[in-house]
Amino acid sequence: MNIENKVALITGGASGLGLATARNLHSKGAKLVLMDLNEDNLNSAKEELKDNVIGIVTNVADEESVKKAIQSAVDEFGSIHILVNCAGIGSASKTVGRDGAHPLEIFKIVIDVNLVGTFNTLRLAAEVMGKNEPENDNECGVIINTASVAAFDGQIGQAAYSASKGGVTAMTLPIARDLARMGIRINTIAPGIFDTPLMAMASDEVRKPLIEMTQFPKRLGDPDEFALLTAQIIENPFLNGETIRLDGGKRKNLLINKFTLSVKNFKVVQQKEGI
């Protein structure tokens, strides 16, 4: 799909991987609909990108909230051609820890935002995409989801997060089959450790082993590299139903680190992926 003049909806689009994706697609001529819970970040993103950008405060796990955002996109730009799902949350809790069993409510919240929220947004966006005028190969739309390497290599304390991202990965191919008749492709990116605002909170003591477990290059991922892959997926018409690891070859097992389980206060906020 040619990105120029297409309407791209990006969840979690006001910071981290979502904002990097927004910048990249905007530079290629896309019209942007940024969905995020953080209104201040949305305003900053709109001010930076300026033309052909709207920002909508949205909870991806809420059906009515997403419906309103999609209707706003259609009202403003006429349709939706591209969806990039970057919104998500993280948690850290052992199945049974010092304080007892893993809080069930936290497990449900992570699944609700990361898995249900991803499906909620893509199903509603796909309904609109299917009405587009077909282009080459009868293509009407492209969907890109964000999973994580935790879907395959989950660490201690990541039961909820890994389950949610494993679900995103597992549903990619069935959805590709569902949407084939509508001319819509769907792929998933599974990022490793990226240098997002969340990782900026980590000390060098935490960052060093994360870098060491990456084969090459020996560093954290750059959000612009995630954005580059999203554009490549959009522009490659034969890429469909696939999950792509973007992790610098990270395979080494990582024991629980201090940063992960130092999260004492779990907050229901949509953060950017890359952990």
Catalytic residues: 161
Q: Sort 106 into a burial class: Cβ within 10 Å, 0-12 / 13-18 / 19+.
A: middle
User: What is the C-alpha separation between 96 and 150, in angstroms, rounded?
Assistant: 19
CA dihedral sign of residues 156, 157, 161, 166: positive
Distance CA 243, CA 173 (A): 9
> How big is the chain, counted in residues?
275
Cis peptide before 217 (omega within 30 of 0): yes
DSSP-derived 3-state class of residue 260 = helix
Can you list the alpha helix ranges (DSSP code H) found in 1-38? 16-27
CA distance 165 to 114: 7
Answer positive or negative: Cα dihedral of 234, 142, 52, 39: negative
Beta-bridged to residue 110, according to DSSP, are none
